[in-house]
Amino acid sequence: MNQHPNHPSAVQANLKYQNGRTSLLLITGFSAINLVTLFFGSTYFLFSSYITQLISIIGSVFYEELGGSIPVLLVTFALGAISVLPYLLCWIFSKKHVGWMIAALALFSVDSLLLLFDMLTSLFGGFDISYLIDIAFHIWAIASLAIAVSYKLRAKNDAQEPAAVWEAEGAPSYTPASEEPVRNLVLTRTKKFSGSAVSYICALNGEEIGQISNGQTVSFPIGGGAYSFAVLTPQGASSNVITVEAGTEDVNLTLNSKMGFSEIHLYLERA
């Protein structure tokens, strides 16, 4: 039986995986930028493929020594593009296949080993402290990719769990609402600058029932039974799941948001 996308573990796995994909996109982008900046100067950005940096630096040396050789420039940029391309492909296809994220983790791990090797060999000719900064960012990136893979694989395993596992945690099972409305579920979205232009999706028992905009209050008629309610962004990030107990009184909820490193985190609370 497939796990519902609003299940707490599935929500957390999705957030961690999206963080990993953002890290992978940063690696791809900064690697491409460094290919140009290091070739024509000394400026470079962290969070980049070290192999790409080496290709650019070595190519730049030969380019200057040969008096601005165009063939050297073309070969350097071709090799640099080849070194960045795998990360771009991994980012594109990892959206649906975790195997591509695993491949990116392997690639960047090898890249980090090369950086570590160069750092150790530099000890014999005078240590460059900038290596420590590069190593720190490589470790951060590897951790981000590894966490994304770990959570995604764990979510796949959890998807085989029966629905009763979640029911035991206190949330009602996800079945379509069929009761006649006897009360209202009132949701107020706190006005925030982050994500202000995006409408969030409201889901009752796993089914979309409407959307809510920044600073808006919406009301949904519901029956008297127990429900599960969550809010999702169009990208799939989700709030925590609120259990709406059986009853006849209106239910008032508040949705807050907080901007994280790479995405917006949603927090659903009782008003």
Q: DSSP per residue over 41-67, as a string? A: SS---SSS-HHHHHHHHHHHHHHHHTT
Q: What is the CATH number of the domain that holds 266?
A: 2.60.40
Cα–Cα distances (Å) from 137 to 17, 134, 174, 267, in that order, read 19, 5, 42, 30
199 within a domain of the structure (yes/no): yes
Q: Are 200 and 257 in contact (CB under 8 A)?
A: no
pLDDT at residue 123 in the model: 74
Provide the residue range defining the domain that includes 145. 8-158
Q: Are 38 and 12 found together in one domain?
A: yes
50 within a domain of the structure (yes/no): yes
How many whole angstroms separate alpha carbon 111 and alpha carbon 4? 37
Q: Are 142 and 176 found together in one domain?
A: no
Q: Are 38 and 59 found together in one domain?
A: yes
178 within a domain of the structure (yes/no): yes
Among 53, 2, 12, 9, residue whose Cα is nearest residue 30: 53
How many whole angstroms separate alpha carbon 214 and alpha carbon 63? 53
Q: Are 191 and 260 found together in one domain?
A: yes
Mean pLDDT, the chain, integer: 82
What contacts 211, CB < 8 A, 6 or more positions away? 199, 200, 201, 202, 218
Q: Are 202 and 148 found together in one domain?
A: no
pTM for this one?
0.59
Q: Are 125 and 34 found together in one domain?
A: yes
Please report, in angstroms and rounded to a whole number, the separation of the first and last CA atoms in the chain.
34
Give pLDDT tens digits along the chain (271 positions): 344 444 545 666 777 888 899 999 999 999 999 999 999 987 788 889 999 999 999 999 999 999 888 999 999 999 999 999 999 999 999 988 999 999 999 999 999 999 998 888 877 766 667 778 889 999 999 999 999 999 888 776 655 444 333 333 444 444 445 578 889 999 999 988 766 777 888 988 878 888 999 899 999 999 888 899 988 887 667 788 888 998 899 999 999 887 765 567 788 899 8
Q: Are 147 and 182 found together in one domain?
A: no
Q: Are 193 and 152 found together in one domain?
A: no
Q: Are 143 and 261 found together in one domain?
A: no
165 within a domain of the structure (yes/no): no
Q: Are 33 and 148 found together in one domain?
A: yes
Q: Are 192 and 67 found together in one domain?
A: no
54 within a domain of the structure (yes/no): yes
Q: What tokens were used for 130?
A: 């900038």
The domain tally of the chain equals 2
Q: Are 148 and 206 found together in one domain?
A: no
